[in-house]
Amino acid sequence: MYDRSDPRADLAPSQTTRPAPSRFVPAEYGLFYEVPPQESGADARSWYTRGQNFLTVYTEAEAGAVLSRAAQPDEYVLLLPDAGTSVQVEAGGEQQTVAGHSIAFIPPGESRITLQSSGRVVRLFTTRSADLVALCPNAGSYAEARPNIPPLENWPTPPDGFRIRAYSLDVPKQAGRFGRIWRCTTFMVNVLEPAPGPRDISKLSPHHHDDFEQGSLVLNGSYTHHIRWPWTTDMNAWREDEHRLCKAPSLTVIPPPAIHTSRAEEAGQMIDIFCPPRHDFSAKPGWVLNEVDYPAPTAI
């Protein structure tokens, strides 16, 4: 279902053998530009939205703001999308300055992120962080576990243990590689190539996932998410197609096995989020930019 020019066109087919789904659930939308922040203080405002296994915290903060975790149960993601933002990170007994336009993975346990300049900060946590789940306005949507998604299992711990690991987003585009992908023990993040303008409607990429959600975080511009659910023999399970325009900043959580594709409506930037990491992307040589630091399971 990909255009032949799309690097995903030759991905290995899914080996999932789960029963065909009999019921479907809607997509989740966190339109941060339409609602007040769930947390608001003198130096930071934060918006929350969750999926089955993960949640996103989008923060606009001033210099000097501190974003801390006292007893984080697992590794989490820090994304600084803008070049003008820098932070000081303290975690795992070390300190490190992380420049803007970077992605970093923060160890479990106690951590502090201190902004050295004002800017946007995105953090990704698993839903094991119950205190953060409680702040998500769509938490009720997951009162019952979503179908088709297996329990979250961490990927292998790095051979040299947990530590602050930061990577610049300034990675040149490479033929045959899809986006700019990093992973850790809990997440895979694909920083897609920026959209220079509206996407060619003759080269969209409708596809589906059998057993995991996709979080699509719009950081700049606007995108229309086109989503279609399968038909089954039971018409009671059918759902209407969705064609949802989402501006920045926003998070859309797309459930399996909905067919979906996103079209940039203008110049913009979107990030795709997966929790845990994807097997098919990890199996592609050279696609995961930090695969040396984070080994894949032996099955891959």
pLDDT one-digit tens code per residue, 137-148: 999 999 999 888
- Torsion angle, CA of 124/130/135/136, rounded to 10 degrees? 60
pLDDT of residue 17: 59
Buried b (16+ CB within 10 A) or exposed e, 5-37: eeebeebeeeeeeeeebeebbebbbbbbeeeeb
Strand order through the sheet with 165-168: 39-40, 44-50, 54-61, 119-126, 76-80, 102-106, 165-168
Q: How much is the pTM?
A: 0.95
pLDDT of residue 9: 72
pLDDT of residue 19: 67
d(CA 83, CA 270): 16
d(CA 27, CA 10): 27
Local mean pLDDT, 10-residue blocks, the chain (300 residues): 73 65 90 98 97 98 98 98 97 97 98 98 98 98 91 97 98 95 98 98 96 98 97 94 98 97 98 98 97 92
Residue 106 near residue 73, CB atoms below 8 Å: no
Amino acid in position 289:
L
pLDDT of residue 271: 98
pLDDT of residue 2: 64
Judged on CB neighbours under 10 Å (0-12, 13-18, 19+), 111 is: buried
- Torsion angle, CA of 132/138/144/145, rounded to 10 degrees? -70
**pLDDT, tens digit (0-9, with 9 covering 90-100), for 6-17:** 878 777 666 655
Percent of the chain at pLDDT exceeding 70: 96
d(CA 281, CA 187): 12
Strand partners, 274: 188
Residue 85 near residue 95, CB atoms below 8 Å: no
- Which tokens sit at 125? 């946590």
pLDDT of residue 237: 92
**pLDDT, tens digit (0-9, with 9 covering 90-100), for 207-226:** 999 999 999 999 999 999 99
Strand order through the sheet with 180-183: 28-31, 250-254, 214-220, 269-274, 188-191, 180-183
Residue 29 near residue 141, CB atoms below 8 Å: no
For 270, other C-beta atoms within 10 Å of its C-beta total 26
